[in-house]
Structure 1
Amino acid sequence: MERFVFLTFDGFSRGAVYAAFALALVLIWRAARIVNFAQGAMAVAAAYVAYSVSVSTGSYWLGFLAALAAGLLLGAVVDRAVMRFVDHASPLNPVIVALGLVLVIQAVLGMLYGNEFHPAGTPFSRAALTVGGFAVGSPYDLFVFATVGVTMVALAWIFARTPVGLRMRAAAFAPEVSRLLGVNVGGMLALGWALASGVGALAAMLVIPTELGLHPNAMDLVFVSAFTAAVVGGLDSPPGAVVGGLVVGLLLSYVSGYAGSDLTPLAVLVLLLAVLLVRPGGLFAPVAARRV
């Protein structure tokens, strides 16, 4: 029972990060109808900015803020300098460009920082707390929960309660009509890319310390898990991304805890195939999306 409780808390901690990263993928999909396969590499680039700032200043929090700023900036730059010029006549074109962008970013990071693992610090202890004789989450896990929760509430407020959020939604779903109404569709798309990249950078800062460390390929497996979470919940559903992230986190925690970590990639693949076969639009997809 003690092991089950620990694995459950660990799964929720992992799932919160996957949910944040899946939410970044959903934001891009809703803004530009693109699955951004470069999201992981962009997040790692922002994490390397944090590493450089933290090493130079000795402050984790300055590095943390620098990563968020770098993520926001990188997202806007990728949209303005790369994706804006991609021919969207074929849905494969953005995918190919995004995969090429992954190779470019990882190569540049390898040339600048090398291919060895760099340590990634945490602001709080990762030692598990004991409550009622059960090992539960660590102070760092609580920090992850709080950070992801605040981020999700803030994004929900932006999209549902602010004029900017309304314009972003309109630009995504009806760009031509939005232009006629005076909405700067290009600016809204750039803002969507910036927000998604910023959330991805946040996810990288939260998950990389729990892995082997900082590396140009550090987010590759995280991207696979987050993409599965986004598909499970539905690429058009931000709440679905949250639920999907928690489901994937719990699945990976239980599989690694009871069957071994070697089986976790297989578990993610089985979950992804099951959802695609049973409900291709995701668990939270609207009825119209499931009929396509």
Structure 2
Amino acid sequence: MGTFVQLVIDGLSTGSIYGALALAIVLVHQATGLINFAQGGMAVLSAYIAYVFTQLGLPLIVAILIAVVISFALGAAAERLLVRRFERGDPDTAVVVTIGILTLATGICAWIWGYDNRQFPSLFPLSTVEVLGAVVSIRSLGTIGAIVAIMIVLQVLFMRTKLGLALRAVAINPESAALSGLPVGRLLMIGWGLAAALGAIAGSLVAPQLTLTPGMLDGALVYALAAVIIGGLSSPLGAVVAAWMIGVLENLAAVYVPFIGYDLKIAVPFLLVFVVLILRPQGLFGRRIVVRV
């Protein structure tokens, strides 16, 4: 029983890393209708910004808040100066632009700070507690709690606030939104800015567990995209639940399914994606879109 609980809790902790990025991807999609492949690179850049301020002697929470503000400005600037030139054209072109921003952000981090592993301070203590025979770190529990809080805030933002409804309207039909008097350009900038700010929080939560490097989130981004597909592009709740599901099922399959083991556990999320795309293409928590023709 202790082993099972340990695997589940470790899976939830790992899944929270994927969920942090998945939430930012959902946020951009809800605000702009695009899949933002640059989210991992932007989160890493934000984590480095927070790291610089901690090295200047500022308290960690203050450094993270400053990084959030700077990241919001950078995200809004990226939308205004780069992405907007391609948003009204072929969606595939805009997606390629986000991949270019990912490469640019990663390259800037490597150019300025190099590829050395850097230890990022944690918001939570490194002590452990025992839960049903499993040893769990306070940092893992804190990360899970933070992701739950962010998920709730985003769910409320999109479902219960005027800003969230306006962002969704712009993403679904920018022309109709503009005719309704919504400032489409400004809302797109806000959407990218909010996603970059969320990326700063995600990067600061993840960096203590992975160590800070330019490629820190490359692998996690793949899992985050899988979580978004499984959970649904329109649901912050679905993205987090799917990320936790991936983390837990990976761990359980590695231990309890002999032919999978640790070598093949990476196939678990992609098998889930395959099944979900066949049975429920909009995702487990996503909304079915009806198009009139």
Q: Which amino acid is 1:192 matched to?
A: G
Matched with 2:228 is 230
Cα offset, 1:16, TM superposition: 2.8
How much has 1:143 moved relative to structure 2? 1.6
Q: SS at the partner of 1:129?
A: strand
- Superposed, which structure 2 residues align to 1:74-223 within 5 Å? 74-86=74-86, 88-132=88-132, 134-211=133-210, 213-223=211-221
- Superposed CA RMSD in Å reads 2.3
CA contact (8 A) 2:151 2:237 kept: no
Residues 17 and 220 in structure 2, CA contact (< 8 A), matched pair in contact too? no
Partners of 2:180 and 2:78 in 1: how far apart? 26
Seq. identity, %: 35
| Distance (whole Å) between structure 2 residues aligned to residue 80 and residue 72 of structure 1 | 12
Q: Distance in 2 between matches of 1:140 and 1:157?
A: 26
How far apart, in 2, do the equivalents of 1:185 and 1:21 lie? 25
Map of 1:18 onto structure 2: 18
Asked if the contact 2:123–2:205 (Cα under 8 Å) also holds between the matched residues in 1, the reply is no
Q: Name stretches of at least 5 consecutive residues in structure 2 with no aligned partner.
A: none
Distance in 2 between residues matched to 1:231 and 1:253, nearest whole Å: 20
| Total equivalences in the alignment | 289
1:5 aligns with 2:5: yes
Amino acid at match of 2:69: A
Partner of 1:59: 59
* Cα distance in 2 for residues equivalent to 1:264 and 1:48: 30
User: What is the CA-CA distance between 1:203 and the residue it aligns to?
Assistant: 1.6
CA apart distance, 1:40: 0.2
SS where residue 263 of structure 1 aligns? coil
Q: Which residue of 1 aligns with 2:35?
A: 35
Deviations for 1:140-164, whole angstroms, at most 9, x for unmatched residues?
1222122222222222222233222
> How far apart in 1 are the matches of 2:254 and 2:128?
18
Letter in 1 for 2:224: A
Q: Distance in 1 between matches of 2:161 and 2:279?
A: 36
Q: Equivalents in 2 of 1:87, 1:129: separation in Å?
A: 49
SS in 1 for 2:266: helix
**In the superposition, relative to structure 1, how do residues 289 and 230 fare at CA in structure 2: closer, same or farther (>3 Å)?**
farther
List per-residue Cα deviations over 1:18-71 (Å, max 9, x = no partner). Answer: 223212111111222211111100000000001101111152222222332233
Does the CA contact (< 8 Å) of 1:125 and 1:139 recur in 2?
A: yes
Question: How far, CA to CA, are the matches of 2:251 and 2:127 in structure 1?
Answer: 17
